[in-house]
C-alpha cells in the first residue's frame, strides 16, 4: 500500500521500451508525462495537451476473435469504455463497459474486460498501435489511451520506485534544513552521493560557490522545489560523476524559478530506473529555470543533455560541449539563448518543438546532425548566429518558422532545410536575411508547401518529398 502520510497517489505506466507514459502526483491528481524519443509520436501527442488520461489499459492476451485487457481507472470519476481504435478505424463494442472510479482504499486495482476483434483481422494486428477509446460518464469528450504490451498483474511492482518513496534529504548529513525559511542548504564542500535524493515541495534547495557534488552508483536528484545554485567564476559549483555511474537532476512543478550561475555539469547521464526513463541528464518540467555562465559537458547517456518542458527558461554565457546526442531539447517552452556556444554535439545542438525561442549571439560548431531544428509550430528568431561544421544548418518543419538576420553558415553539408515531417502538420517556413553561406555543399532543400525567403528573395521548391532525403538517407543522421 502507498504510505498515507505522503498523500500522494502515483501511477506509472511503462512500455517495454522503458518509457514513462504518465504518473499522478499530489492530492490534486495532476499528471506529468515523460517519454523517450524512441516513441516520438506518442511523446509529442501527450506533451501537446498535457492532460491526464484517466484510464490505463494493459494487454493480457489476444486470439483470433478477441483481446483481453486489464483496465485501471486512476481518476475519481467513472469512465465508460466505448471500443478499440486501430489503423485509423474504430471498433465499437456493443455494450459500453463502465469502469468505476478509483478506490482510494486499495492500490492500482484493475478490471478485466474482453473485446471481440474479428473485424480487425486480429491475426495481423500490431498491438503496439492499438488504443482504447472511452469517455467520462458525465461528459461527451472522447479520449484514448494506448494499450500497454504486458499484463498489469503485480500489485507490488511499484514498491521500490523512487517516485513513490518519501523525501529523504533530511537523512543526508550535508543537507541542512531551515524550517523557518523553508530552505535546504548543501554545506560547502566536496560531497559524494551514492544514493538518490528526493526534495519535497515548498522548499528551496541551495548551494554556494565552491560546492561539489559527485553522483555515483546511479544517484539522481529529484526535486519538487526550485534549485538555487550560485557559484562564481573563481569558485564554480560542480555537479559531476567521477566514475560515470551517476545520473542527473529532475525538477518537477517546482512553483518558483530555479537559477544556476557558474555551475559545471560534467559526466552525467539521463535518469533511468527499472520502472521509468527520462531522455536527459537535466530535466525541468513546468519549472522555470535560468542558467548563466554554466558548462554542460561530456554527458554519458540519454537522448538529450538538457530537456526543458512546458516552461520558461533562459541560457546565457554558457557552453555545451561533447554532448552525446542532442544538447538542448525544449518542448512547448518559451526561452532565450544568449552569448552561448555549442561544440562537438552528437546529434542536434538546439532541438525545439511547439516552442518560442530567441537566439542571439550564439556559435554552434561540429554538429553531427542539425545545428538548429524547429518542429511542431515552433517560432525561432535568430540574430548574430554562426554555424560551422554542421551536417544540417537550419531546419524548419511541421508549421514552424525560423526568422532572423546576420547568420553565417560555414563548412557544412546542407545549409537550410524546410519541409513537412508529420502528416498532421503543414510545411516549414524560413525567413532570414543578411545570411552568408560559405563552403556549404548544398545551400538549401525546400519542399513544396514549405517556404524559404533567403536574403529577401523567395526561393522555389527543390523537392516534393524532402523527408526521404534526410535522416541518414542522403543528409543528416539516422534516427533512433
Least confident range from 62-71, 176-185, 284-293, 306-315: namely 62-71
pLDDT exceeds 60 at position 271: yes
Q: What is the pTM of this model?
A: 0.71
Give me the percent of the chain exceeding a pLDDT of 90.
Answer: 61
**Predicted confidence band of residue 41 (pLDDT cuts 50, 70, 90):** very low
For residue 393, which of 423, 350, 358 has the smallest C-alpha distance?
Answer: 350
| Of residues 103 and 224, more confidently modeled | 224
Which residues, 6 or more positions from 310, have their beta carbon under 8 angstroms from its beta carbon?
47, 50, 285, 286, 331, 332, 333
What pLDDT is stored for residue 32 in this prediction?
29
Reply yes or no on whether the pLDDT at 155 is more than 80: no
pLDDT band at 108 (very low <50, low <70, confident <90, very high): low
Res 77: pLDDT: 80
Lowest-confidence region among 147-151, 220-224, 358-362, 370-374: 147-151
Residue with cell string 545551400: 443
Calculate ∠ Cα 440-445-447, nearest 5°. Answer: 175
pLDDT digits (tens, 9 = 90+) for 400-445: 999 999 999 999 999 999 999 998 899 999 999 999 999 999 999 9
Residues 6+ positions from 356 with CB-CB distance below 8 Å: 333, 334, 335, 378, 379, 380
pLDDT score at 35: 30
Q: What is the mean pLDDT of residues 47-66?
A: 66
Query: At residue 156, does pLDDT exceed 60?
Result: no
Residue 48, phi then psi, degrees to nearest 5:
-70, -40
350-409 tens-digit pLDDT: 999 999 999 999 999 999 999 999 999 999 999 999 999 999 999 999 999 999 999 999
Task: Give the model's pLDDT for residue 248.
Answer: 96
Bigger pLDDT: 151 vs 67: 67
Cβ atoms of residues 300 and 322 within 8 Å: no
In 3D, which of 418, 419, 415 has the Cα closest to residue 435? 415
Does the pLDDT value for residue 266 go beyond 60? yes
SS3 sequence of the chain: CCCHHHCCCCCCCECCCCCECCEEECCCCEEECCCCHHHHHHHHHHHHHCCCCCEEEEEEEECCCEEEEEEEECCCCCEEEEEEEECCEEEEEEEEEEECCCCCCCCCCCEEEEEECHHHCHHHCCHHHCEEEEEECCCCCEEEEEEECCCCCCCCCCCCCHHHCCCCHHHCCCEEEECCCCEEEECCCEEEECCCEEECCCCEEEEECCCEEEECCCCCEEECCCEEEECCCCCCEEEECCCCCCCCEEEECCCCCEEEECEEEECCCCCECCCCECCEEEEEECCCEEEECCEEECCCCCCEEEEEECCEEEEECCEEEEECCEEEEEECCEEEEECCEEEEECCCCEEEECCEEEEEEEEEEEEEEEEEEEECCCEEEEEEEEEEEEEEEEEEECCCEEEEEEEEEECCCEEEEEECCCCCCCCCEEEEEEEEEECCCEEEEEEECEEEEECCEECCCCECCCHHHCCCCCCCCCCC
Cα–Cα distance, 336 to 480 (Å, whole number): 28
C-alpha 269/C-alpha 287 separation (Å) is 20
Amino acid at each position: 500500500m502507498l504510505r498515507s502520510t505522503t498523500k500522494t497517489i502515483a501511477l506509472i505506466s511503462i512500455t517495454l521500451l522503458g518509457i514513462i507514459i504518465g504518473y499522478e502526483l499530489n492530492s490534486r491528481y495532476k499528471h506529468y508525462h515523460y517519454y523517450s524519443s524512441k516513441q516520438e509520436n506518442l511523446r509529442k501527442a501527450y506533451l501537446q495537451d498535457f492532460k491526464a488520461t484517466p484510464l490505463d489499459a494493459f494487454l493480457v492476451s489476444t486470439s483470433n476473435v478477441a483481446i483481453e485487457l486489464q483496465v485501471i481507472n486512476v481518476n475519481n470519476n467513472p469512465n465508460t469504455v466505448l471500443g478499440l481504435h486501430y489503423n485509423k478505424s474504430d471498433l465499437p463494442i456493443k455494450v459500453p463497459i463502465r469502469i468505476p472510479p478509483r478506490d482510494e482504499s486499495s492500490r492500482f486495482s484493475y478490471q478485466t474486460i474482453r473485446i471481440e476483434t474479428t473485424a480487425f483481422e486480429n491475426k495481423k494486428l500490431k498491438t503496439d498501435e492499438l488504443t482504447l477509446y472511452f469517455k467520462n460518464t458525465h461528459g461527451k469528450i472522447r479520449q484514448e489511451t494506448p494499450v500497454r504490451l504486458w499484463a498489469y498483474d503485480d500489485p507490488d511492482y511499484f514498491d521500490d520506485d523512487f517516485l513513490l518513496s518519501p523525501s529523504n534529504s533530511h537523512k543526508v548529513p550535508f543537507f541542512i534544513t531551515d524550517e523557518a525559511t523553508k530552505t535546504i542548504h548543501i554545506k560547502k564542500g566536496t560531497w559524494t552521493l551514492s544514493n538518490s535524493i528526493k526534495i519535497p515541495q515548498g522548499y528551496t534547495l541551495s548551494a554556494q560557490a565552491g560546492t561539489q557534488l559527485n553522483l555515483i552508483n546511479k544517484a539522481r536528484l529529484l526535486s519538487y522545489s526550485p534549485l538555487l545554485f550560485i557559484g562564481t567564476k573563481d569558485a564554480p559549483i560542480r555537479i559531476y560523476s567521477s566514475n560515470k555511474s551517476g545520473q542527473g537532476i529532475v525538477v518537477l512543478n517546482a512553483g518558483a524559478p530555479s537559477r544556476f550561475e557558474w555551475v559545471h555539469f560534467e559526466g552525467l547521464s539521463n535518469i533511468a530506473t527499472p520502472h521509468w526513463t527520462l531522455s536527459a541528464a537535466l530535466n525541468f518540467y513546468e519549472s522555470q529555470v535560468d542558467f548563466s555562465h554554466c558548462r554542460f559537458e561530456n554527458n554519458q547517456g540519454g537522448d538529450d543533455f538538457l530537456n526543458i518542458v512546458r516552461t520558461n527558461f533562459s541560457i546565457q554565457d554558457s557552453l555545451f560541449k561533447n554532448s552525446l546526442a542532442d544538447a538542448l531539447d525544449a518542448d512547448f517552452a518559451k526561452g532565450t539563448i544568449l552569448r552561448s556556444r555549442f561544440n562537438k554535439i552528437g546529434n542536434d545542438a538546439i532541438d525545439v518543438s511547439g516552442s518560442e525561442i530567441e537566439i542571439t549571439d550564439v556559435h554552434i560548431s561540429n554538429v553531427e546532425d542539425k545545428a538548429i531544428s524547429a518542429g511542431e509550430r515552433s517560432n525561432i528568431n535568430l540574430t548574430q548566429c554562426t554555424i560551422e561544421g554542421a551536417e544540417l544548418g537550419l531546419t524548419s518543419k511541421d508549421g514552424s518558422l525560423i526568422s532572423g538576420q546576420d547568420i553565417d553558415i560555414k563548412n557544412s553539408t546542407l545549409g537550410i532545410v524546410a519541409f513537412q515531417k508529420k502528416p498532421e502538420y503543414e510545411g516549414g517556413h524560413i525567413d532570414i536575411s543578411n545570411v552568408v553561406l560559405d563552403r556549404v555543399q548544398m545551400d538549401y532543400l525546400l519542399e513544396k508547401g514549405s517556404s524559404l525567403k533567403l536574403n529577401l528573395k523567395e526561393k522555389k521548391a527543390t523537392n516534393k518529398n524532402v523527408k526521404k532525403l534526410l535522416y541518414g538517407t542522403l543528409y543528416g543522421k539516422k534516427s533512433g
